[in-house]
Structure 1
Amino acid sequence: MAFTERSEPTRTAILSAARKLLTEQGYDGTTIRAVAAEVGIDPSMVMRYYGSKAGLFSAAVDVKLHLDEVPKVPANKLGEPLARHFLTRWEGDPSDEAIILLLRSAATNGVAAEHMRTIFDTQVARFVRRRIGTGADGTRRAGLVSSQLLGLALTRYVVPLSPVVKMNLDAVVSSVSPVLQYYLTGNLGSAVKARRKATTGS
């Protein structure tokens, strides 16, 4: 539906309540009725604005990765600013807590997992195409970059691993940057050949 300026406070309250309940109870434990009760409105109002629980969830975790803000540097130096961009946003901008909430939900819910895939498939893939190149190789590189970033978020914020959590931001950036750089511009084919050679001995 078309939103009006008058409806904005209600929509903001609904999304805030949805994020709170999703954090506390997860996707499966959060209901339209509970969100409405948190705001003090009728459940039909939530449905009016968002149509369904899935629609409400998508709006509550409408994640923008802001990859256009990654500094313009040569492709062979892109790993460090990309890593720093994600870490700085995740740890310095409260609005980006949505991606952590989404990651928590995606671990146990198919709707959330599909939403996460869509975000990274589109935004990261578009970034890699613009900065590195196009085609199947670009798609593969984008997938590998996403796997590294999501794994980092998982082990630093969702299922905290002590060695990862204890590292300061600069230490994480310096550790992760070479991996991202390899995924972005490294010779991925040579790694496959090396593994095959090690396996076959020829």
Structure 2
Amino acid sequence: MGRTSTRDAVIEAARQLFGERGYTAVTVKDVAVLAGYSPAMVMKVMGSKAKLYAAAAPDVPSADVLLEQDEPIGFALVRRILRRRQSGDSEPWSMVALLVQDAPDRDAARGELRERYVAWIAGQIGDESPSRKKSQLVVCVVMGLGAGMRILGLLGPDEMADEELIQQYGALVQGIIDDPAVG
């Protein structure tokens, strides 16, 4: 395994801080301290706080979603969110709304993140419709779960067992995906 590049370390620190506090509450110095570099190095590598923010936008889910063999994508998405909560990893699905609201250019952030997430879901579920309505619905439902759990602390382990949540919420997501009337 190779050493993390300076740029990657700075972006990961920024992703964590922006996700926790938002754009305006995070300084370049905050990012530098967490990444283990000087603020001057952060600026040299990234150019500006706005460029750093754009680079730190959460990645869409990747291959780590499909963790259970033959598990439908709706259930796998919910399982991934729960696993990331358990491990304390940042959750892209809960960060999206915050990143758009607090972005230096909201319209650009909204458009870029909307396209990124909807296109990823469309690819996963085979949504080739011009409107990608089904994909948009899935993004909304999954973002709601991510934000509800991370931001509001809803559906914690004391309220519902993880497997029960996966089965109930996963069925909601999968229901949208499987409904031929949607789209």
Higher radius of gyration, 1 or 2: 1
- The answer to whether the 8 Å contact 1:67/1:123 transfers is no
Q: Does 1:142 align with 2:135?
A: yes
How does the TM-score come out when normalised to structure 1? 0.66
Which of 67, 86, 105 does residue 99 from structure 2 map onto? 105
Q: CA RMSD in A?
A: 3.4
Q: Residues of 2 paired with 1:93 and 1:152: CA distance?
A: 17
Which of 105, 122, 126 does residue 125 from structure 1 map onto? 122
- Count how many residue pairs are aligned between Structure 1 and Structure 2: 175
Which of 6, 23, 27 does residue 23 from structure 2 map onto? 27
Cα separation, partners in 2 of 1:24 and 1:126, compared to 1, 3 Å: closer
Q: CA deviation at 1:98?
A: 4.9
Q: CA deviation at 1:185?
A: 1.6
Unaligned runs of 5+ in 2: none
- The answer to whether the 8 Å contact 1:50/1:56 transfers is yes
Q: Residues of 2 paired with 1:141 and 1:160: CA distance?
A: 27
Unaligned runs of 5+ in 1: 190-202
Cα separation, partners in 2 of 1:85 and 1:35, compared to 1, 3 Å: closer
Q: Does 1:182 align with 2:178?
A: no
Q: Which has the higher helix share?
A: 1
Identity of aligned residues (%): 23
How does the TM-score come out when normalised to structure 2? 0.71
Cα separation, partners in 2 of 1:35 and 1:66, compared to 1, 3 Å: closer
- Cα deviation per residue 1:96-116 (whole Å; 9 max; x = unaligned)? 445544443334442654453
- The answer to whether the 8 Å contact 2:121/2:139 transfers is yes
Q: Residues of 1 paired with 2:4 and 2:149: CA distance?
A: 37
Cα separation, partners in 2 of 1:64 and 1:23, compared to 1, 3 Å: closer
